[in-house]
């Protein structure tokens, strides 16, 4: 066969994996194309940009995301105000069995990390807030379905967190529609799996830390869930690992969120989208605050790669799994307060 014939005969795979992890920066995606009133061409271009970013680095900065900036800023102020409360008051809200409340410094070690052998606990403290569970909900009291814990002396924390989570949920819904289309599925395909979404808002504080081997604000890890939508302050310190093992800085860009793919979306998409290791080291001489929002499926969602997404001859690599079972296994291994229970 001649060289030119050979070229002619090449069968391009429907989905290329060549670009996976091959990046040295994180693209900015203009999300205005996912707004309800966007025209179809603008939508198609946003979906294509998201698809390319999530296949390559699994990360993107989201501009024009539609969440009011004054609400984002108020949430950041409440994050700072919460962590300035007396320790006694924070400890009174210590994380409960439903994974809601205060996590003191150095109480989580990411032992399930596929990325690094993590030995030192994370240098961070946080308030974990999750979706509200109505008292009369049929699932109230089931694993991870219980009350949040907020400081009584600062009611604005609860008010702001609720308003923020509501807006971030709407953003998560818009993104899920775009991701479905990027995977060749109908826009509303994911909706059935997000009837009672599992939501986490983590108000994180990273004190300055020494530059020490194996010491991190957040040790190298991948996120568990579907997508993470992170607001970080202006300090910096987030880094994302590429295929060559280089840590690429993801510095703050005003008025954007950093979005990344979690493990369950990577599995769900049959590996099309990548869940990329990242870490935080706050080597600045200032306190760092960030607020990741994790937008995840219902606990009872059955996560299984849809046939409609698979190309000819392609098989699903994941075993179907109930999202709740998967999540509980990960949480039970990584958080000190749950280890006794598991």
Ligand X SMILES: O=C(O)CCC(=O)C(=O)O
Q: Give the interface with ligand X as residue ranges (CB under 6 A).
A: 202, 204, 218, 223, 230, 232, 238, 278, 280, 290, 292
Q: Quick one: 184 or 207, whose CB is closer to ligand X?
A: 207
How many other CB atoms are there within 10 angstroms of residue 91's CB atom? 11
* Shorter beta-carbon distance to Fe ion: residue 47 or 171: 171
Task: Kindly determine how many residues on this chain lie close enough to bind Fe ion according to the rule CB under 5 A.
Answer: 1
76 binding partner (options Fe ion, ligand X, none; Cβ < 5 to 8 Å by kind):
none
Q: Nearer to ligand X by C-beta: 180 or 280?
A: 280
Per partner kind, with CB cut-offs from 5 to 8 A, the member of Fe ion, ligand X, none near residue 118 is: none
Q: Site mask, Fe ion, residues 200-229, x = CB under 5 A? A: -----------------------x------
What string of H, E and C letters represents the secondary structure of the chain?
CCHHHHHHHCCCCCCCCCCCCCCCCCCEEEHHHHCCCCCHHHHHHHHHHHHHHHHHCCEEEEECCCCCHHHHHHHHHHHHHHHCCCHHHHHCCECCCCCCEEECCCCECCCCCCCCCCCCCCCCEEEEEECCCCCCCCCCCCCCCCCCCCCCCCHHHHHHHHHHHHHHHHHHHHHHHHHHHHCCCCCCHHHHHCCCEEEEEEEEEECCCCCCCCCCCEEEECCCCCEEEEEECCCCCEEEECCCCCEEECCCCCCCEEEEECHHHHHHCCCCCCCCCEEECCCCCCCEEEEEEEEEEECCCEECCCHHHCCCCCCCCCCCEEHHHHHHHHHHHHEHHHHCCC
Minimum CB distance to Fe ion smaller for 127 or for 133:
127
Partner touching 181 among Fe ion, ligand X, none, CB below 5 to 8 Å by kind: none
User: What is the closest distance, in whole angstroms, from the C-beta atom of residue 290 to Fe ion in the complex?
Assistant: 10
Q: Among ligand X, Fe ion, none, what binds residue 160 when CB lies within 5 to 8 Å by partner kind?
A: none
189 or 257: CB nearest ligand X: 257
The CB-of-280 to ligand X minimum distance in angstroms stands at: 5
Q: How would you classify the pairing of strands 227-232 and 257-261? A: antiparallel
Q: How far is the CB of 148 from ligand X (least distance, A)?
A: 18
Say which entry of Fe ion, ligand X, none residue 20 contacts (CB below 5 to 8 A, set by partner kind).
Answer: none
Q: Report, in Å, the least distance between residue 273 CB and Fe ion.
A: 15
Q: Least Å distance between CB 240 and ligand X?
A: 10
For ligand X, the closer of residues 209 and 232 by Cβ is 232
223 versus 296: smaller Cβ distance to ligand X: 223
Q: Which does 99 bind (CB under 5 to 8 A by kind): Fe ion, ligand X, none?
A: none
Residue where the block lists tokens 């308003």: 163
Pick one of Fe ion, ligand X, none as the site partner of residue 265 (Cβ within 5 to 8 A by kind): none
CB of 130 to Fe ion, least distance (A): 16
Cβ proximity to ligand X: between 204 and 299 the closer is 204
Nearer to ligand X, 56 or 218 (CB): 218
Kindly list the distances between the CA atom of residue 311 and the CA atoms of 91, 105, 317, in Å, as whole numbers in the listed order.
52, 46, 13
Answer with the entry of Fe ion, ligand X, none that 55 interacts with (C-beta below 5 to 8 A by kind). none
Q: In what order do the strands lie in the sheet with 197-206?
A: 28-30, 59-63, 257-261, 227-232, 288-298, 197-206, 125-130, 101-103
Contact partner, 46, from ligand X, Fe ion, none, Cβ < 5-8 Å per class = none
Question: Is there a contact between 202 and 275 (Cβ–Cβ < 8 Å)?
Answer: no
Residues 223-262 that bind Fe ion (CB under 5 A): 223
Q: CB of residue 39 vs ligand X: minimum separation in angstroms?
A: 34
Report the interface residues with Fe ion, using CB under 5 A.
223
């Amino acid at each position: 066969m001649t060289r030119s014939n050979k070229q002619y005969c090449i069968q391009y795979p429907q989905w290329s994996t060549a670009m996976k992890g091959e990046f040295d920066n994180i693209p900015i995606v203009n999300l205005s194309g996912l707004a309800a009133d966007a025209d179809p061409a603008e939508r198609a271009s946003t979906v294509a940009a998201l698809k390319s970013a999530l296949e390559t680095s699994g990360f993107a900065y989201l501009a024009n995301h539609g969440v009011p900036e004054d609400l984002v800023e108020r949430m950041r102020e409440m994050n700072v105000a919460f962590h300035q409360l007396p320790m006694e008051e924070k400890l009174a809200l210590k994380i409960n069995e439903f994974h809601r409340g205060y996590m003191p410094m150095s109480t989580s070690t990411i032992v399930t990390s596929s990325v690094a052998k993590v030995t030192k606990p994370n240098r961070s403290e946080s308030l974990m807030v999750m979706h509200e569970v109505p008292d009369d909900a049929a699932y109230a009291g089931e694993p991870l379905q219980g009350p949040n814990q907020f400081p009584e002396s600062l009611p604005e924390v609860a008010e702001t967190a609720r308003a923020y989570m509501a807006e971030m949920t709407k953003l998560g819904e818009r993104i899920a529609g775009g991701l479905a289309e990027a995977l060749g599925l109908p826009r509303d395909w994911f909706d059935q799996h997000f009837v009672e979404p599992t939501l986490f808002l983590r108000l994180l504080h990273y004190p300055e830390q020494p530059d020490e081997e194996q010491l991190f604000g957040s040790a190298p890890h991948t996120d568990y869930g579907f997508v993470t939508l992170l607001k970080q302050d202006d300090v910096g310190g987030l880094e994302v690992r590429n295929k060559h093992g280089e840590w690429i800085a993801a510095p703050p860009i005003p008025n954007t969120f950093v979005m990344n793919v979690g493990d369950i979306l990577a599995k769900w998409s049959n590996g099309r989208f990548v869940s990329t290791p990242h870490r935080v080291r706050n080597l600045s001489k200032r306190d760092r605050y960030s607020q990741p929002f994790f937008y995840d499926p219902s606990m009872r969602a059955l996560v299984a790669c849809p046939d409609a997404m698979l190309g000819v001859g392609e098989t699903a690599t994941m075993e179907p799994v109930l999202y709740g079972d998967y999540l509980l296994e990960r949480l039970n291994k990584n958080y000190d307060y749950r280890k006794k229970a598991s």
